[in-house]
Amino acid sequence: MTQDIISKVKTASKALIALASVSGAAKDEALRAMASALDANREKIISANDRDIEAAEKLVKEGKLSSSLLKRLKVTDIKINGMIAGINDVVKFEDPVGKTLAGLELDYGLELYQVSCPIGLIGVIFESHAIENTTGLPKGAFALMETREEVNEILKLDEYISLIIPRGSNEFVKYIQDNTRIPVLGHADGICHVYVDSAAAHTKAIDVCYDSKVQYSAVCNAMETMLVHRDIAGEFLPEIGRKYNDAGVELRCCDRSYEILKKMGFLKAVLRATEEDWRTEYNDLILSIKIVDSIDEAIDHINKYGSHHTDAIVTENKGNATKFINFVDSSSVMWNASTRFADGFRYGKGAEVGISTNKIHARGPVGMEGLLIYKYVLLGSGNKVADYAGENPKPFTHKKLNISLADRMEGAK
């Protein structure tokens, strides 16, 4: 079997050379075919998903699967619409391959171009997957691996695979990261915060905090910890607490917030938070709450306990907003907006590849640009470094060029 996987991956890696020369129009056609296939097979997909959900529900009951994974598994008509819209958005984008990103004359007759190109063979690994056949592209360009053994084999093939994109639970992503030398694009944790500043506008604070937690709690960009300035806590916490109570949110509170919320007899689930809560991604209708004495304490808490994913401040004080934006070390920082906006589609990227908490290559919501890199192309006329080195070196001109490599090649020699 191992041999079979290696040969599949080798085939895909060779098909890439053909794929690199496929025109933008052909790629668009393949994308449109995928969107049509999704649309034409709605019922099939949803009924297959129904069976998956049924099986998964059993596993949840047996404690073998988390309920948040179950939620993510559910495919609805609206979700399929979203997939189709995402694909069509990608079609609308210009082909990003082969663009000249920069041009520099090193010397007369010696020109350097930086040109975009695909990263290469990418391993996308879904924890709960449903992969379709693709048409119109070189055979073997996509390889489907289904078992855990096959996935483990793939993780060893760093000679052929340039990037791994895992989609699934934290444990799954961590497993992938710990078991491969191949770069992994993805995020393991989404511990997002909203900080309600002393200068917060009341309605904005309520809207942002409610939406960040309740709009969809099973996902990585939902808030897990709410930080509230002490000066506003007495007024703000009872009202947001009532709303969370109505939505069935369990509240895990620091001592000070516990005192305020516990007084409201009708709140069902008010518990005391432990140190562990500040480090926990619930992915569920659970929220930890902490009252802080200052914006600095909020920033320190976020940088210490957060996952550098997405964090928001609610304030009318521009200085505080600027401070929060500069000092919170996260891929997305929101001022008076819900953390749930951190998403490739909402950020205008079309289909989302993932949200990265890596600090290299691609960070935050990632679209097609995360699948691209560049190469340098140097056009000369027999130039030798010897002329530009030693005791009497020729100087470089380093003059910016405003022509694309494609146009330059068109006119060349």
Judged by DSSP in three states, 400 sits in: strand
- Span near its own copies by CB under 8 A; candidates 24-32, 45-53, 178-186, 271-279: 178-186
C-alpha triplet 343, 363, 359: angle, nearest 5°:
150
Give CA separation, 283 vs 177, 214, 217, 223, in Å.
21, 11, 6, 9
Question: Pattern of binders to its own copies over 280-309, x per CB under 8 A?
Answer: -----------------------x------
Please state the closest distance from residue 374 (CB atom) to its own copies, in A. 6
The answer to the question of residue 366 lying near its own copies (CB under 8 A) is no
DSSP 346: T
For its own copies, which residue of 39, 346, 394, 407 counts as binding (CB under 8 A)?
Answer: 346
Closest CA to 256 of 270, 239, 276, 242: 270
Q: In this structure, what token pair is assigned to residue 301?
A: 């808490």
Containing 204, the helix (H) or strand (E) segment is helix 202-214
168 touches its own copies by CB under 8 A? no
Site for its own copies in 53-82 (CB under 8 A): 78
7 touches its own copies (CB under 8 A): no
Choose which of 9, 15, 185, 226 interacts with its own copies (CB under 8 A): 185
What 3-state DSSP class applies to 77? Answer: helix
Q: Which of 63, 360, 392, 402 binds its own copies (CB under 8 A)?
A: 360
- Interface residue with its own copies among 321, 351, 353, 368 (CB under 8 A) is 321
Nearer to its own copies, 270 or 371 (CB): 371
The reply to whether 246 sits near its own copies by the rule CB under 8 A is no
For tokens 């709410």, what's the residue? 226
Least spacing, CB of residue 265 vs its own copies, in Å: 29
Per CB under 8 A, contacts with its own copies among 121-160 are none
Closest to its own copies by CB, 254 vs 355, is: 355
- Quote the Cα angle for 56-61-66, to 5°: 60
**Minimum distance of its own copies from residue 63's CB (angstroms):** 30
Q: Which of 338, 351, 367, 368 binds its own copies (CB under 8 A)?
A: 338
Q: At what angle do helices 24-40 and 77-92 cross, to 10 degrees?
A: 170
Contact 229, 347 (CB under 8 A): no
Q: Any contact of residue 367 with its own copies (CB under 8 A)?
A: no
Residue 52 or 383 having the CB closest to its own copies: 383
Select from 153, 189, 197, 211 the one that contacts its own copies (CB under 8 A). 211
Distance CA 178, CA 184 (A): 10
Q: Measured from the CB of residue 133, what is the shortest distance to its own copies in angstroms?
A: 27
How many residues in the shown chain lie near its own copies by CB under 8 A? 83
* Number of neighbours of residue 228 by Cβ within 10 angstroms: 29
Q: How far, in Å, CA of 328 to CA of 349, rounded?
A: 24
Q: Which is nearer to its own copies, 89 or 150 (CB)?
A: 89
Distance between CA atoms of 176 and 326, rounded to whole angstroms? Answer: 32
Beta-carbon contacts of 120 under 8 Å, excluding residues fewer than 6 positions away, are: 13, 16, 161, 162, 163
- Euclidean distance between CA atoms 191 and 279, whole angstroms: 7
Figure out which of the listed residues 79, 139, 181, 263 binds its own copies, where binding follows CB under 8 A: 181
Site stretch for its own copies (CB under 8 A), options 42-50, 133-141, 230-238, 388-396: 388-396
Is residue 163 part of the contact set for its own copies (CB under 8 A)? yes
Tokens linked to 281? 């991604």
Q: State how far the Cα of 29 lies from the Cα of 99, in Å rounded to an integer.
A: 20
Assess 394 for contact with its own copies (CB under 8 A): no
Kindly state whether residue 1 participates in binding its own copies, applying the rule CB under 8 A.
no
Q: Least distance from C-beta 285 to its own copies, angstroms?
A: 15
Nearer to its own copies among residue 253 and residue 307 (C-beta) = 307
Backbone angles phi, psi at 234, to 5 degrees: -65, -30
Which residues on adjacent β-strands are paired with residue 163?
122
As measured in angstroms, the least distance from the Cβ of 116 to its own copies is: 11
Please identify, using beta-carbon distances, which residue of 253 and 405 lies nearer to its own copies: 405
